[in-house]
């Protein structure tokens, strides 16, 4: 029984920090955690978010698709993927009305002190502003949703919100390459007013990863969501 209690406690502790859905830590954290947007009966909407960019091979095509459909989305960018080549893509995001937030490529931010977290994210925001001409909104998505009390304290110090995503509303496909048609069908069938979807236009290690499946899936997903009477918004 003792070891069962130890195992249960360890499991709860792990979920509090690593669960890809709201859990105990989010309820007591000093900074807000947003896993779903407030519903709006007058203008029901879902929220497309994209992680791990900017990607010089996929992000331009994704922006083209979003522009063709007249949809605004939120891009969570990895600081080390921003350079002179990709900065114009971020400028285009701002110019076309998309929201830009901060992302991380590693779980190491979980182990940083609150001061280090605040300094790391502030430096990334300043660099985006310097290279792309606009400052990102006060939203941060940690790598794989991994979070800690220190991270939340750091976010609180700079008035940022941690942004997650809806239950099963992601493009992970159990180590198989996602099928665009199947992905669009699954996501469209599970969203409701306020849902946050996460897809990837980049990769946390490969800045030029092949993400054509995301572009194709979004092209299919947008009309399917609209057919359900839902619009689109940004989390910022």
What is the tens place of the pLDDT at every residue in 15-39? Answer: 678 888 898 899 999 999 999 999 9
Taking alpha carbons only, the member of 232, 175, 172 closest to residue 46 is: 232
Q: Using the predicted structure, report yes or no on whether residue 154 has a pLDDT greater than 80.
A: yes
pLDDT given at position 172: 79
Active site residue 42: no
pLDDT given at position 8: 42
Rounded Cα distance, 90 and 96, in Å? 10
What is the tens place of the pLDDT at every residue in 43-89? Answer: 999 999 999 999 999 999 999 999 999 999 999 999 999 999 999 99
Q: Which of 17, 26, 51, 81 is catalytic?
A: 51
Lowest-pLDDT range of 73-87, 163-177, 206-220: 163-177
Active site residue 203: no
Rounded Cα distance, 117 and 151, in Å? 6
pLDDT band at 9 (very low <50, low <70, confident <90, very high): very low
Q: Which of 200, 201, 203, 219 is catalytic?
A: 200
In degrees to the nearest 10, what's the CA dihedral of 129, 56, 215, 163? -30
pLDDT given at position 15: 67
Q: Using the predicted structure, report yes or no on whether residue 149 has a pLDDT greater than 70.
A: yes
Does the reported pTM lie above 0.85?
yes
Question: In the chain, what is the straight-line distance between the N-terminal and C-terminal CA atoms, in Å?
Answer: 47
Q: Considering the chain, what is the average pLDDT of its residues? A: 93
């Amino acid at each position: 029984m003792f070891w069962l209690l130890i195992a249960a406690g360890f499991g709860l502790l792990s979920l509090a920090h690593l669960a890809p859905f709201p859990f105990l830590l989010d309820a007591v954290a000093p900074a807000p955690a947003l896993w779903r947007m407030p519903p709006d009966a007058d203008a029901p909407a879902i929220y497309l978010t994209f992680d791990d960019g900017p990607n010089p091979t996929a992000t331009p095509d994704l922006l083209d698709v979003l522009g063709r459909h007249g949809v605004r989305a939120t891009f969570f960018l990895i600081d080390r993927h921003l350079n002179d080549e990709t900065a114009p893509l971020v400028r285009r995001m701002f110019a076309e009305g998309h929201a830009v937030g901060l992302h991380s490529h590693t779980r190491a931010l979980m182990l940083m002190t609150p001061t280090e977290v605040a300094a790391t994210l502030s430096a990334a925001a300043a660099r985006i502003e310097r290279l792309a001409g606009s400052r990102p909104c006060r939203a941060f998505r940690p790598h794989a949703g991994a979070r800690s009390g220190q991270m939340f304290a750091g976010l609180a110090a700079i008035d940022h919100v941690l942004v997650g995503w809806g239950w099963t509303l992601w493009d992970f496909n159990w180590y198989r390459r996602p099928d665009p048609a199947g992905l669009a069908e699954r996501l469209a069938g599970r969203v409701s007013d306020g849902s946050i979807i996460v897809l990837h236009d980049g990769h946390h290690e490969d800045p030029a990863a092949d993400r054509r499946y995301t572009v194709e899936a979004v092209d299919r997903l947008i009309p399917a969501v609209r057919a359900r009477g839902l619009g689109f918004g940004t989390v910022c």
